[in-house]
Amino acid sequence: MKEKIGPDKRRYLRYEILDYAVVHADGWSKSVNTVIVDISLGGVQLRSKDPLPVGSHCTIRVGCGDLPPIALRGEVRHCTPLPDSDLLTSGVRFIPECHGDRMAIAEYVHAIFQRQCDNLIV
């Protein structure tokens, strides 16, 4: 269970998931393989072995089953070592550039919510 430190100031409910994603930071020649560990309408928490440059804008590519991968634009807000691990945890705030980007985020988060609800019913 996660220890809470101070009041949670997030605007959106977060959903815990494990989805693979590839992150490409603007200006970087290489991509970083990551795992999404939680998501909300406002952003994602990622785990990776490689650091993501704090303050940089990036594109997170996530596979969506049989559909083409979606690309989510964001800004890396923090990247810190995960205690007792060789992994880093990074927070990325979504920065949608158009209505289509906002819809892609909402549809992806809704699909995760729906998947979790379906698992509760079974």
b/e sequence 67-86, b meaning 16+ C-beta within 10 Å: eeebebbbbbeebeeeeeee
Q: Where are the domains of the chain?
A: 15-121
**What does the H/E/C string look like for 35-87?**
EEEEECCCEEEEEECCCCCCCCEEEEEEEECCEEEEEEEEEEEEEEECCCCCC
Percent of the chain with pLDDT over 70: 81
Percent of the chain with pLDDT over 90: 57
- pLDDT value at residue 5: 46
pLDDT confidence bin for 90, thresholds 50/70/90 = very high
Please tell me what DSSP assigns to residue 13.
-
Q: What is the pLDDT of residues 51-78, one digit of tens each?
A: 999 999 999 999 866 667 889 999 999 9
pLDDT confidence bin for 120, thresholds 50/70/90 = low
Structural fold of domain 15-121: Thrombin, subunit H (2.40.10)
